[in-house]
Amino acid sequence: MRTDLFRRRLVTGFACIGAGAAMPCCLPHQALAANHQNFALSEIADGVFAFRGKNELMTPGNEGAICNLGLVVGDEAAAVIDSGGSLVQARAFIAAISEVTPKPVRFLINTHMHPDHIFGNAAFRDIGATVIGHKNLPRALEARGAFYLRNYRSQLGEALMEGIEIVPPAQLVADRAEFDLGGRVLHLRAWKAAHTDNDLTVYDAATGTLFTGDLVFMEHLPTLDGSLLGWIRQMDALAAIDAQRVVPGHGPIAADWPEALEAQRRYFEVLAGDIRQAITEGRPLAETVKTAGRSEASNWALFDEYNERNATAAYAELEWE
């Protein structure tokens, strides 16, 4: 790993000199953070770090860094939650990790199939991490991987796409699984189709921190690529998880739980309500998607980018009710 390539800096003002130096562990955790250009890793609980993605589409300008990423450090090893939207971002992430812990990254947990969460996988595989995912993730990536690699070439640009591979998980979670980082156990849970059909959550019992992946969106409009009904149906079970704080897939990196679910719950109700009414009235899909959910526009970032698409998927699903 060529950490010397990255400028090292601490927001606390401590200088970190020398490549590969381990960070002192005596810093108060709220203050410990690592920056690499636009990659800032914040410690949100003891040994739990998160990167906040921008509420944007993936572009060359943001290097694909649009979703939240996580790091949990145990006594023996660390686990990373999602790898980011490009190898450039993933490498910056790895550099930032080396500033906060000398422990090896033993696991990369993919919360689901989307490119902003998995395009950095190869960088973590290359430092020896085992990739973990939902049992449906390999199938989903087989069906989409080639499309993602082609489609994002125009969106992210050739330079950022260079070297990006679809790296499927080596270890699968069918229902629940636990991964021990040494004195710290991560609880993984596979969900039925919701945001996608391969959503996985990660719960750090030591601090009560829940990484939801894109099962929870805040600020950024939720995107539907699985099952709206499944998502709505499972939201109570999600809310029942006894968490102190949540790291949603998009939005603030530490939010109150389960209050974090409220905005998306309301959006889904409005969207489903509008579409059900249109279906009852016999209004066709093409016409319905132009207006369904519109009253939620001012509550979300990227509403115009994703709402019609959500409405399209939701209409096709709700028509079978």
- Taking the C-alpha atoms of residue 84 and residue 88, their distance in angstroms, rounded to an integer, is 9
Nearest Cα neighbor of 197 from 124, 284, 111 is 111
Strands across the sheet containing 245-250 = 176-180, 185-190, 200-204, 209-217, 245-250
Phi, psi for residue 152 in degrees, rounded to 5: -80, -10
Tell me the C-alpha to C-alpha distance, in Å, between residue 85 and each of 19, 115, 320. 26, 6, 34
* Residue 151 interacting with other proteins (CB under 8 A): yes
* Residue 71 interacting with other proteins (CB under 8 A): no
* Residue 155 interacting with other proteins (CB under 8 A): yes
* Residue 197 interacting with Zn ion (CB under 5 A): no
Stretch that binds Zn ion, among 92-100, 180-188, 211-219, 232-240 (CB under 5 A): 211-219
Instruction: Tell me whether residue 3 or residue 198 sits nearer to other proteins (CB atom).
Output: 198
* Residue 54 interacting with Zn ion (CB under 5 A): no
Stretch that binds Zn ion, among 36-44, 49-57, 208-216, 284-292 (CB under 5 A): 208-216
Residues in 107-136 at the binding interface with Zn ion, rule: CB under 5 A: 114
157 binds, among Zn ion, other proteins, none (CB under 5 to 8 A by kind): other proteins
304 binds, among Zn ion, other proteins, none (CB under 5 to 8 A by kind): none
237 binds, among Zn ion, other proteins, none (CB under 5 to 8 A by kind): none
Instruction: Tell me whether residue 74 or residue 120 sits nearer to other proteins (CB atom).
Output: 120
- Taking the C-alpha atoms of residue 207 and residue 69, their distance in angstroms, rounded to an integer, is 17
- Taking the C-alpha atoms of residue 251 and residue 254, their distance in angstroms, rounded to an integer, is 9
Contact 39, 93 (CB under 8 A): yes
214 binds, among other proteins, Zn ion, none (CB under 5 to 8 A by kind): Zn ion
- Taking the C-alpha atoms of residue 192 and residue 197, their distance in angstroms, rounded to an integer, is 6
Question: Six-digit token pair at 113?
Answer: 């199939």
How many Å separate Cα 209 from the centre of its chain? Answer: 14
* Residue 282 interacting with other proteins (CB under 8 A): yes
* Residue 82 interacting with Zn ion (CB under 5 A): no
Residue recorded with tokens 């709505």:
232
Residue numbers at the binding site for other proteins (CB under 8 A): 57-58, 114-116, 136, 138-140, 142-144, 146-148, 150-151, 153-155, 157-158, 168, 192-193, 196-197, 223, 225-227, 230, 282, 284-286, 289, 305, 308-309, 311-313, 316-317, 319-320
